[in-house]
Chains A and B, each alone.
Chain A
Amino acid sequence: MIVAHPEDFSKFRQFPLTLTLLLLNFLIYFMVFDSPDSHQQRHKLLKAENLILTARLYLQSIPHFEASYQNQIPEWVLQVHRGNLEQMEILGSYALRDNYFLKYGERASFVGDQIEIENWKGMIQDFQKYVQKQPVFYFGLFHESSRWGWITYQFSHSGFLHLMSNMIFLVFSGFAVETLVGGWGLLAIYLLGGLAGGLMFLLFNQNGALPMVGASASISALIAFFCLAETKWRIRYFYFLSPVQGHFGSIYLTPLLMLPLYVLVDFTNLLAAPTGLNMGVAYSAHVGGSLFGLGTAVFYRLISEKQKQKHNRPRLRKLLFGKERN
Chain B
Amino acid sequence: MVFQDVSVDSYSRIHRISSSSGGAKPLTIAPLNDRLLAVFLDFLIFSPLVGLWVSGIYRQIHLSSLLEVEEGIVGGFWILYILAIFSSIISIMTLFLYFWQATPGQKFLQLRVVSYPSVDFERRLTIDRCILRSFLWCLSWILLGLPFLEVISHPLRRAFHERASDTLVVSLKRLKEQATLELESTFIRNFLRTSFVLLAMMICGLGFKAYDELSEEVESSQTAGPGDNPECAISVSENDEKLNPIDLLMTLAYTKQLDEDCLNTQLDSLFLKAKRESVSFAYLAKSMIIQDEKEKKKYLDRACSESKKQEKTISKSKDDAEICNIATFLASKPGSRKMEIRASNPLLLSRVLLLESYMEQKDYIPALATVKELDHFVSLKHFLETKYVAAVWSLRKADEDANTRKPASKDGNMEGIFKEFEERYLKQ
Contact = CB atoms under 8 A, between A and B. Distances in A.
B426 to A, nearest CB: 44
B193 to A, nearest CB: 24
A129 interface: no
Interface stretch (A4-12, A27-35, A36-44, A199-207): A4-12
Contact of B4 (A82, A252, A257): A252
Contacts of B408: none
Interface string A86-112: 010010000000000000000000011
Contacts of B291: none
A34 to B, nearest CB: 31
Given A56-B268, A234-B5, A252-B6, 9 more contacts: A83-B265, A246-B33, A253-B108, A257-B108, A264-B48, A264-B49, A272-B59, A273-B59, A277-B62
B66 interface: yes
B339 to A, nearest CB: 25
Nearest to A85: B261
B302 A272 contact: no
Contacts of B55: 268, 271-272
B82 interface: no
A85 B286 CA distance: 18
Interface string B23-52: 000000001110011001100110111011
Contact of A112 (B7, B49, B272): B272
A295 to B, nearest CB: 19
Instruction: Summarize A's interface: helix, strand, loop or mixed.
Output: mixed
B286 A113 contact: yes
27 contacts: A7-B2, A76-B66, A79-B67, A83-B229, A87-B66, A111-B272, A113-B271, A115-B302, A176-B3, A179-B3, A233-B4, A234-B4, A234-B7, A235-B3, A236-B4, A241-B37, A247-B36, A251-B109, A257-B108, A260-B45, A261-B45, A265-B48, A272-B56, A272-B62, A274-B66, A277-B62, A277-B66
A244 B108 CA distance: 22
B229 A261 contact: no
B66 A236 contact: no
Residue among B37, B229, B283 having the largest count of chain A Cβ atoms under 10 Å: B37
Contacts of A235: 3
Residue among B4, B32, B33, B40 having the largest count of chain A Cβ atoms under 10 Å: B33
B197 interface: no
Contact of B108 (A251, A265, A267, A268): A251
B63 interface: yes
Nearest to A252: B6
Nearest to B46: A260
Nearest to B227: A83
Nearest to B268: A56
B67 A176 contact: no
B49 A271 contact: no
B237 to A, nearest CB: 25
Contacts of B282: 113
Contacts of A271: 52, 55-56, 59
Nearest to A275: B59
Interface string B244-281: 00000000000000000100110110011010000000
B265 A82 contact: yes
Given A246-B33, A261-B48, A233 B3 contact: yes
Given A239-B37, A272-B59, A80 B67 contact: yes
Given A82-B265, A247-B33, A268 B51 contact: yes
B293 interface: no
A260 B52 CA distance: 10
A51 to B, nearest CB: 13
Interface string A50-80: 0010001000000000000000000010011
Nearest to B2: A6
B171 to A, nearest CB: 13
Given A114-B302, A272-B58, A264 B5 contact: no
A84 B68 contact: yes
Contacts of B17: none
Contact of B67 (A8, A81, A85, A239): A81
In the complex, which range does the number of interface residues on chain A fall in? Answer: 35 or more
A175 interface: yes
Residue among A90, A257, A272 having the largest count of chain B Cβ atoms under 10 Å: A272
B40 A232 contact: no
Nearest to B272: A111
B298 interface: yes
B385 interface: no
A106 to B, nearest CB: 20
A111 B261 CA distance: 19
Contacts of B6: 234, 252
B268 A112 contact: yes
A168 interface: no
Interface string B291-332: 000010011001000000000000000000000000000000
B271 A111 contact: yes
A179 B4 CA distance: 12
A23 interface: no
Contacts of B271: 111-113
B183 interface: no
B184 to A, nearest CB: 12
A302 interface: no
B204 to A, nearest CB: 33
Nearest to A83: B265
Nearest to B178: A246
B1 interface: yes
Contact of B2 (A2, A79, A81, A176): A176
A118 to B, nearest CB: 9
Interface in B219-255: 229
B343 to A, nearest CB: 26
A260 B49 contact: yes
Nearest to A75: B63
A239 B68 CA distance: 42
A284 to B, nearest CB: 14
Contacts of B302: 114-115
B48 A87 contact: no
A81 B59 contact: no
A234 B45 contact: no
Residue among A113, A244, A254, A257 having the largest count of chain B Cβ atoms under 10 Å: A113
Nearest to A249: B33
A181 to B, nearest CB: 14
Contacts of B41: 2, 253, 257
A67 B229 CA distance: 35
Contact of B299 (A76, A115, A252, A253): A115
Contacts of A112: 268, 271-272
